[in-house]
Amino acid sequence: MLQKVSDNLLDDERLIIVVDALDEVEQEDRDKNILNLPTTLPNKVYFLLTRRPYVADNKRLYTQGVLEEELDLRSQEYGDLSRQDIENYIWFFLQENPKTKDSLSKWIAERNFAPRTFVETITKKSENNFMYLYYLLPGIAKGEYNDFSELEKFHKGLREYYQTHWRRMGMDTEQKEKMVIILFILVESTPISCEMIAKIAEQDEYEVQKVLDQWVEYLKDQKIDEKTCYSIYHTSFLDFLKGKGELKTTRKQFDEVIQRMANYFKREMA
């Protein structure tokens, strides 16, 4: 089919196929291309693929002589562009979208916020997360946030989105106990290295790294003293995790983990 399309394209025409969220693909046969994408492409045919951060072993994209270019949108260069896109997106809801502009403007005026302040604050709180805006802006327009008088309190509408994250992290499975401990340590002490998590959790470092690799799309990593350390990607997701019953500090097991964390840092500082 792609070849037939290619044969009918004019010299100045191109076929570009966009496939979003490859990380959400569920496919049992891991030896084949993810989503069964073609391994070769005819002339003038391009695929633009997006996915969350991933471990190299999980790329699962095999090509034969096809030129590939990969962009890491977490880099500062693209971060600045994303932030500008976020601002433009908010301004669109505020000034042009016929379904939201009047109600949003009224909501802002009733609270004596300057439109620019509203846009800048929501941009910062979004952390370049468009799903944050997807839930928040229509929610404000529909009156779901009429009891909010301070911009800093926004988070409410993301619960359904982050509940999906929770399930995809495997936290609703029977084998979640080890993962709950690792996640608890991440929530309580970030950024933190795999080695430190393993020592505190009293688990094998290799097994801890496997869990972190599994969660790579929800974590950000940074080098501290030449070690890779991990933290939760969005602070709003971190707030959601802190409210989960499975991570409540009232659990006796977590009291033990907190004590282990304290003992570990005392040893390290001694």
pLDDT at 243: 79
Query: How far apart are alpha carbons 240 and 166 in whole angstroms?
Result: 10
User: Is 193 strand, coil or helix?
Assistant: strand
Mean pLDDT across 150-161:
65
- More confident site: 187 or 149: 187
115-126 helix and 101-110 helix, angle to the nearest 10 degrees = 100
Q: How far is CA 84 from the centre of its chain?
A: 18
Percent of the chain with pLDDT strictly greater than 70: 94
13's tokens: 């025409």
pLDDT level of residue 153 (50, 70, 90 thresholds):
low
Q: What is the DSSP secondary-structure string of the chain? A: -HHHHHHH--TT--EEEEE--GGG---S-TTSPGGG--SS--TTEEEEE------GGG-----SS-------TTSHHHHHHHHHHHHHHHHHHHHT-TTTHHHHHHHHHHTT--HHHHHHHHHHHHTT-HHHHHHHHHHHHTTTTTT---GGG--GGGHHHHHHHHHHTTTTSTT-HHHHHHHHHHHHS-SEEHHHHHHHHT--HHHHHHHHHHTGGGEEEEEETTEEEEEES-HHHHHHHHT-GGG-TTSHHHHHHHHHHHHHHHHHH-
pLDDT at 101: 95
Query: How far apart are alpha carbons 5 and 84 in whole angstroms?
Result: 36
CB 76 within 8 A of CB 45: no
What pTM value is reported for the model?
A: 0.60
Mean pLDDT of the chain: 86
pLDDT tens-digit series, residues 60-70: 899 999 999 99
Mean pLDDT across 241-254:
75
pLDDT at 152: 66
pLDDT at 194: 94
pLDDT level of residue 124 (50, 70, 90 thresholds):
confident
Query: How far apart are alpha carbons 150 and 146 in whole angstroms?
Result: 11
Most confident stretch, 148-157, 184-193, 246-255: 184-193
Pick the range with the lowest mean pLDDT from 26-40, 54-68, 87-101, 155-169. 155-169
Q: How far is CA 90 from CA 85, 94, 123, 140, 201, in A?
A: 9, 6, 8, 12, 42
- More confident site: 265 or 69: 69
CB 186 within 8 A of CB 21: no
pLDDT at 175: 60
